[in-house]
Amino acid sequence: MITAAAAIRTFIAGHTLDDYQADLMLRSAVERQFEILGEALARALRLDAGLQTRLPASRGAIDFRNVIAHEYDALSAATVWDIARNELPVLAGDAAAELARLDELLA
């Protein structure tokens, strides 16, 4: 999940929404990483239901993955861009904090 989030941030760095809308390869790459991110979270929640409390945006990320995978024809580039720019950093930060917490528990 953290790798996918980092990839999305790298892919969109230095780009505008107009760039994103005009570049099919960029949109495809970002959407694929969101699919990976959502699937990783879904698997993690199956292993630890309490993770949803510690990562409050996880359910939304999983739902967003399902929209990308199954309702892609209704998905707007502006929505993906907004989530990548505004919501993903919060989820990625929470996930990094959760990993640090787990590292401390395992140490």
- Give yes or no for a contact between 5 and 92, defined as CB atoms under 8 angstroms apart: yes
Mean pLDDT to the nearest integer, 33-41: 97
Whether residue 107 is predicted with pLDDT greater than 90 in this model: the reply is no
AA identity, residue 80: V
Instruction: Identify the H or E element spanning 87.
Output: none
Rounded to an integer, what distance in angstroms lies between the CA atom of residue 12 and that of residue 84? 8
Is 14 strand, coil or helix? Answer: coil
Banded model confidence at residue 102, pLDDT cuts 50, 70, 90: confident
User: According to the model, what pLDDT value does residue 41 have?
Assistant: 95
